[in-house]
Amino acid sequence: MNKAEFVADVSERIGESKQRGEEVVNAVFEALTAALKRGDEVRLPQFGVFLVSETKERKARNPQTGEEVIVPAGKRPKFRAGKALKEAI
């Protein structure tokens, strides 16, 4: 499912136009992104947890040349599915 299909599904479920559905979806994504930027966890009961994970600097290899490269430390978004979501799937 791509974003357009997702927006159409949300619009149908809330009984609004696709334009209103897109506004709702974008607002949710923006709120989620803002919370993760601040370093907050976003816990959605029965669905899961979005969080930011700190990664250490590490060595890796370029698979084409075999050359060693350094992957810098950084922050990565993660998602842990909740129990209800796991059972539903």
The domain limits of the chain are 1-39, 41-89
- Contact present, 83 and 56 (Cβ < 8 Å): no
Q: Which CATH class is domain 41-89?
A: few secondary structures
CA distance 19 to 25: 10
pLDDT band at residue 89 using 50, 70 and 90 as cut-offs: very high
DSSP 3-37: HHHHHHHHHHHHT--HHHHHHHHHHHHHHHHHHHH
pTM recorded for the entire structure:
0.76
Q: Tens of pLDDT along 21-75? A: 999 999 999 999 999 999 999 999 999 999 999 999 999 999 999 999 999 999 9
Q: What's the pLDDT at 80?
A: 96
pLDDT attached to residue 15 = 94
Query: What pLDDT shows up at residue 23?
Result: 95
Work out the angle at residue 34's Cα, subtended by the Cα atoms of residues 82 and 11, and round it to the nearest 5 degrees.
Answer: 65
